[in-house]
Amino acid sequence: MPSPIRSIRRFLLSLAVASPLVIGTLNNSRVALAASTDPLPNPSMACASLTLANLQAAIDAISTDINGPATQDVNSVPSTSAVATAWLLAAQDERDLLISARDTLVKLRDTLVAPQLQTESFVTNASVAWSIHEYARSTIDALQRAEYWVLLSAVDNKTIPPRYSYLAMVQQLMPRVEKLGADGGACYISLYPPIA
């Protein structure tokens, strides 16, 4: 009859050998299950839209509004208005905030995105993805404040250019920058896969 101590040793030895294998299998199963239920796509899909071309397209769209309707708005303020200075300030503040929004994205492009994309076609660095998300939030803030001023300018100055600028902001600029920020957030999260 085997000794009880020998049986206990064998049992403990078998646990020591088998436990890492079982635990590793359980962990791999949990990771695989988490990955299969993850609502975000893998990083190559989640980050694919974070390209220099998409960032430049957002910058160009804001520049088009600055150089077109926003500048026309400043130039169209009626000089016969009793409070021309106040309404001119609305148009100028709109344009200045659009310039601020554009400059925020230019800074993002020049300092973070362009250096990483020298070697890759889209962002794959978590800190750059996070920065895109955050810079987009700052840009949206400036665009929303510009929207406030363009609304005042359109109503108070009763001219056409601020109406075009308003439509450009709400139909093109804000949705484009919001998507850029959302994609930056999705990319950031996807670069840290779920484990449970």
Q: Where are the domains of the chain?
A: 1-37, 43-190
Band of pLDDT at residue 28, cut at 50, 70 and 90: low
- Cα separations (Å) of 186 from 46, 56, 131, 193? 6, 20, 12, 11
| pLDDT reported for residue 42 | 78
Q: What is residue 24's predicted lDDT score, i.e. its pLDDT?
A: 45
Residue 18 banded pLDDT, cuts 50, 70, 90? very low
How much is the pLDDT for 76?
85
Q: Is the pLDDT of residue 33 over 70?
A: no
In tens, the pLDDT along 34-87 reads: 556 777 767 888 889 998 899 999 999 999 999 999 999 999 886 665 556 767
% of residues, the chain, pLDDT over 70: 75
Helical axes 52-65 vs 126-157, angle rounded to 10°: 20
The predicted pLDDT at position 17 comes to 47
Decide if pLDDT at 182 tops 50: yes
Mean pLDDT lowest among 29-38, 120-129, 144-153:
29-38
Closest among 147, 165, 148 to 76, alpha carbons compared: 165
Which residue shows structure tokens 């005042």? 152
Provide the 10 A C-beta neighbour count for residue 118: 7
The 3-state DSSP class for residue 184 equals: helix
pLDDT, tens digit, for every residue of 90-99? 999 999 999 9
- Please tell me which residue, 153 or 7, carries the higher pLDDT value: 153
For the chain, the average pLDDT equals 82
- Decide if pLDDT at 11 tops 70: no
- Give the pLDDT band of residue 21 (cuts 50, 70, 90): very low
Rounded Cα gap, residues 50 and 187, in angstroms: 8
Residue 29 CA to residue 23 CA, distance in Å, equals 10
- The structure's pTM equals 0.77
Distance of CA 39 to the CA centre of its chain: 18
Six-digit token string for 72:
């026309």
Which of 17-31, 33-47, 146-160 has maximum average pLDDT? Answer: 146-160
